[in-house]
Amino acid sequence: MALPKAVLNMIWYLSSGSSRCETERLVADPAPGITAAPHEDNLRYFDVTIQGPDGSPFQQGVFHLELFLPEEYPMSPPKVRFLTKIYHPNIDKLGRICLDILKDKWSPALQIRTVLLSIQALLSAPNPDDPLATDVAKHYKEDEKDAQRVSREWTEKYASK
Active site residues: 98
Under 8 Å between Cβ of 73 and 137: no
Tell me how far apart the alpha carbons of residues 80 and 67 are, in angstroms, rounded to a whole number.
Answer: 4
With a CB cutoff of 8 Å and minimum separation 6, the contacts of 66 are 45, 46, 47, 48, 80, 81, 83
- How far apart, in whole angstroms, are the C-alpha atoms of residue 20 and residue 103? 24
* Strand partners of residue 12: none
Question: Are 67 and 118 contacting, i.e. CB atoms less than 8 angstroms apart?
Answer: no
SS3 helix, strand, coil % of the chain, rounded to 5?
A: 40, 15, 45
